[in-house]
Structure 1
Amino acid sequence: MAQSTAPFSAFEFMIAWRYLRARRAEGGVSVMTWISLIGITLGVAALIVTLAVRAGFRGEFVDTILGSNAHVTVYSAPLEVVEGSGIYSNLMRDYAERAERIAAVEGVTRAAPLVRGQVMVTFGERSNVAEVYGIAEEDLRTIPRVANPGTSLGSLDQFAEGIALGSGLARELGVGLGDKVKLISPNGAKTAFGTSPRVNAYTVTYIFTAGRWDIDRTRIYMPFAEAQSYFNREAGADEIEVYVERPEDVAEWAGALSAAGGMGTMLWSWRDASGSFLRALDIEDNVMFVILSILVLIAAMNITSGLIMLVKNKGRDIGILRTMGLTEGSVLRVFFLCGAFTGVIGTIAGVTLGCLFAIYIDQVMSFVNWLNGGGAWDPSIRGIYELPAKLQGKDIAKAVLLSLGLSFIVTIFPARRAARMNPVEALRYE
């Protein structure tokens, strides 16, 4: 009677490794092994790269939102200017008091009143539409993506003497520091003949790059008092932008901000503005993971094909090993290890290739741009200027567990078939 041995003994590993390296006469097995190995490597690499790119894109997208926009915008519901007049306005005349109360809320890091308006900006024969943000200089300095000296031109020390332009807008207009641009607003001075457009010239004292194509191409910052005068908002503000400690959990502050803002206060958070896009990204992440998981499964199925061929070719060896005393469990583990070796090696190679691809994503994109003649990544469509990649331990772990799990599972059927082979039948025709 055959004696049982310790599971996964050294001799089982030795036999599995020798079987995996098929001789030239058994080239079919060797070819199937290489196909399985390459398939798993590419599948795991593709999965890791996709997850890294999606994580990097989402992280960069959210960072550009939080680094150049308010976490929560507080504005007022339209109220009747004079009781019975029928004229309504949402202008905040008590903006200073509101901003002070909101800033006192625990967890709020900044509350700044803003004046907003749309203008036509011209320089020479060029023109474009822009959105003007009237803001105090000390508040502008606290906006990370705008007040970044590493990506900007000029100094905010001269902000009171002019305006700040986004780099995309400055590029389209051909504007540099010290140039004067004209801002044209349709809501200008009110006369007996109606409202006439207001045209003012301002010196460009600061050019910023927020990292978002739509922001850099359309945004202008103007001193708060000047914006009040320019847009006829004397003694008032359009809204208050609020920054909180944990912007990802911005919903936690809704009740406190509404209470601090007073009657008629309305809120609009960054999640309200971009929530649908972020949810679409999450859905796309899940779909891509499922699709690439199927590719890894297809590659892993090649292990089954290779093992079935291996079991058929090694029938005589199985019969001899069984007559020498190997148990069914030992034979099962030998052929299980044959498939597991392929899965493990392919997974290690895939993780290595995927991580290298993600780390050198900039060089890869430069090569793709060179092949396409440029334009492989269009910021006007995707919002950000480059394709980022962010390797996360949990993403790598998901890819590794998926690959190894599938590789181990698909080896069970051919390994059980080998273990249940009758040694008498295996040796009958030898």
Structure 2
Amino acid sequence: MFLSSFERTIARRYILPGRGEAFIALVAGISLVAVMLGVAALVIVMSVMNGFRADLMDKIVGLNGHAVIQAYGGRLDDWQGLVRQLEKTPGITRATPLIEQPLLATFNGRVEAIIARGNTQADIARMAEKKVAGSFKDIQPGASEVAIGSRLAENLGVQVGDTITVINPAGRTTPFGTVPREIGYRVAAIFEVGVYDYDNAFVVMPIPDAQTLLLTGDTIGMIEVMTKDPDTVGQTLAPIKQALNGRAVVTDWKTLNASLFQALAVERVTMFVVLSIIVLVAVFNILSSLIMLVRAKTRDIAILRTMGATRGSMVRIFVTIGFVIGAVGTVIGLGLGLVFLHFRQNVVDAVQWMTGQNLWDPSIRFLTELPSRVDPVEIGGICGMSLLLSFLATLYPALKAASTDPVQVLRYE
């Protein structure tokens, strides 16, 4: 909207509080603050929700792959040929054999439920970036060395160099019954994936060691698959799924974590709608402040009309006033939201310190830190919504000012 110098002067004069107009200025200031807080809340919450979903997906998918092929009965024979077939399938970037089995681990009288995970040497080397202590280079087939999650290490009181005992209840059958299989493993490394359930349970070892522990011979439990595009994993694996019908089940990451990601999607939409109401309330404050301003300036408007100001000029003046309040609130709110996101973990730590409450329990939240991911398109949509609502709120007061009849107002002056 382009304003003439006259219209800009009048708009500037009405935006700044005059004598006897402190109440109108107060309402306008409240409107600005309300828009600012609404936009900031939307930016913070939506970015945190985006970060939560993205971090969960990166860490869950990064550890478990985009899809898992699991044999009926838990044992996949002739898996080498299947791996080669998968690697030749268009759209698949990696196929990795994997063993996972829930077992028990003990150390100094402490017992914890674990998930023994047999990985290839390449996968174990990739986990080195998650290392907290120790070295993944020492984890070799036959060396009886393992890596464990950081939370599991805390629960067992284990440090690098200690030896834990892994118990397989399904041991060897003897004339006196089944004897559990117990094998000692030296802890060569401690890792932290960032997902509580994984850090609290995983014990990673080479596949041959896992096969020896579980007495499975040269078989594996599953194959994890990585694809070029996680969103099209179903179409990519469709021919493999058909070929393995009756032998194994193919489950993609969407199915494995369907309830979690659906809950996040519902919560994300709900939070957006609820927080948008804050911006809507702020817009109604802009509407009320402009209505009061029009009523207070009725005589001024009538005089301007008699001096040649057009109805269009009145509309542009009052639309500009309301829109400036909304725009300033939006810009400040955006800045406040981005600053909060930058120092989000410091804010959480400070609130926890002041209240003495654990606001971010990893056992409940899955992730160890408050995540955030700013989506420029979404931020643009939030700002656009705020500006559009601010503009719409100015139309009625602006049209009311433009319809002022100077003859009726000045008749008794």
Q: TM-score range by the shorter chain?
A: over 0.9
1:28 pairs with 2:23: yes
1:205 to 188, 195, 198: 188
Match of 1:124 in 2: 108
> Of residues 343, 347, 356 in structure 2, which corresponds to 1:360?
343
Q: Secondary structure at the match of 2:257?
A: helix
Q: Give the SS at the match of 2:348.
A: helix
2:128 to 147, 151, 155: 147
120-129 or 329-338, which deviates more: 329-338
Where 1:102 maps in the other structure, the secondary structure is: helix
| CA–CA distance in structure 2, aligned partners of residues 138 and 336 of structure 1 | 63
Query: For 1:406-426, what per-residue CA distance to the aligned partner results, in whole angstroms no more than 9, with x for missing partners?
Result: 111011111111110110111
CA distance in 2: counterparts of 1:338 and 1:410, whole angstroms: 11
Indicate conservation of the 8 Å contact 1:102/1:260, yes or no.
no
1:159 maps to which residue?
139
Q: Runs of 4 or more off by more than 3 Å in structure 1?
A: 259-263
Please report the RMSD computed on the Cα atoms of aligned residues, expressed in angstroms: 1.7
> How far is the alpha carbon of 1:402 from its aligned partner?
1.0
* Alpha-carbon distance, 1:261 to partner: 4.8
Aligned residue number for residue 214 of structure 1: 197
Partners of 2:125 and 2:137 within 8 A in 1: no
Equivalent pair of 1:7/1:330 in contact (CA under 8 Å) = no
Q: TM-score normalised to the size of structure 2?
A: 0.95
Match of 1:106 among 77, 90, 104: 90
Matched to 1:156, the amino acid is F
Contact residue 60 and residue 388 of structure 1 kept, 8 A: yes
- Counterpart Cα distance in 2 of 1:136 and 1:54: 34
Letter in 2 for 1:379: P
Q: For 1:39, which of 3, 20, 34 is the aligned residue?
A: 34
SS at structure 2 position matched to 1:25: coil
Deviations 1:237-268 (A, max 9, x none): 11112222222332122213325657523101
Residue type of the alignment partner of 1:410: A
Q: Distance in 1 between matches of 2:21 and 2:74?
A: 82
The Cα of 1:270 is off from its aligned counterpart by 1.5
TM-score (norm 1): 0.91
**Alignment partners' CA distance in 2, 1:202 and 1:423:** 93
Which residue, out of 300, 304, 326, partners 1:321? 304
Which moved further from structure 2: 318-327 or 107-116? 107-116
Unaligned runs of 5+ in 2: none
Q: 1:169 to 1:121 in 2, by over 3 A?
A: same
Report the more deviating stretch, 388-397 or 289-298: 388-397
In the aligned structure 2, how far is the partner of 1:135 from the partner of 1:45?
Answer: 44
User: Is residue 13 of structure 1 aligned with residue 5 of structure 2?
Assistant: no
Task: Report what 2:387 is aligned to.
Answer: 404
Q: Which residue of 1 aligns with 2:316?
A: 333
Match of 1:82 in 2: none
Once the two structures are superposed, what CA deviation does each residue of 1:264-309 show, in whole Å capped at 9, x if it has no partner?
2310121111122112211211111111111101011111111111
Between the aligned partners of 2:192 and 2:240, the Cα distance in structure 1 is: 30
Unaligned 5+ segments in structure 1 are 1-5, 78-88
Partners of 2:98 and 2:51 lie apart in 1 by 31
Partner letter of residue 138 of structure 2? Q
The equivalences for 1:215-234 within 5 A come to 215-234=198-217
1:290 matched to 2:273: yes
- Report the alpha carbon displacement of residue 380 of structure 1 after superposing the two structures with TM: 0.5
Equivalent runs, 1:50-129 vs 2, <5 Å: 50-77=45-72, 89-129=73-113
Report whether the alignment pairs 1:307 with 2:290: yes
Identity of aligned residues (%): 37
2:374 pairs, out of 349, 366, 391, with 391
CA offsets 1:207-264 (integer angstroms, 9 cap, x no match): 1111111000001112211211221201211111222222233212221332565752
Shift of 1:10: 2.4
Paired position in structure 2 for 1:83: none
